[in-house]
Amino acid sequence: MSGHRLFAALVPAIDVVERLDEFWSVRRESGEFRWTSPDQWHLTLAFMPSVADHLLDDLVERLAAAAGRRTSFRLQVEGGGGFPNPAEAKVLWAGVQGADPAARTELERLAAGARTAATTSGTEVDGSRFRPHLTLARTGRPTELTRWIRIADAFPATDWEVDHLTLVASHLGEGPRRRPRHETLAHLPLRRTGS
């Protein structure tokens, strides 16, 4: 049996999700996309494709320690892009960045800490470069997305305070229309500013 498919992530505040959802709702009718569900929007810090049962407790402890070393900070959703590039994209995304230079540093350190926590617990981590984003939609084939990225750029910058890291299990094919079902396993608090 394969292990648990997990990711350590930051989940936007409800008001941010609602604003972003409202912005994109009128645009979802056009285009050849499979739109992601707003209740699953998240910023992946570390993706772990197969975590064995016997590693799970140690992983959670190490992620909790990594989160506890970071101070809460503000992130903002702004702009967008396409992976692997706008001319031949298979993924449309909304950009996420620190609201100021200190927040950008905390975000980078939290992502590095989450990846280190996973590898030191004996868990394999996806080696892709960390690119902060929320996946909005996917296409079945490479698509020119420049027009869609311009639309994403029109979304007014919206921010939220990050005060915890979330560990999520992704159950492939168990959600609506055979999409993944996400299950929150743990909320791991960051250190509060000034503490």
Residue 194 has a pLDDT of 60
How sure is the predictor about 107, in pLDDT bands with cuts at 50, 70 and 90? Answer: very high
d(CA 155, CA 20): 8
Residue 1 has pLDDT above 50, yes or no: no
Find out whether 46 and 132 touch, Cβ atoms under 8 Å.
Answer: no
Residue 118 has pLDDT above 90, yes or no: yes
What 3-state class would DSSP assign to 123?
Answer: coil
Residue 193 has pLDDT above 90, yes or no: no
d(CA 164, CA 70): 9
Residue 179 has a pLDDT of 74
d(CA 64, CA 68): 6
Mean of pLDDT values over 125-132: 89
CB contact set of 152 (below 8 Å; sequence gap of 6+)? 79, 80, 81, 92, 93, 94, 95, 136
Report the DSSP pairing between strands 73-83 and 89-98.
Answer: antiparallel
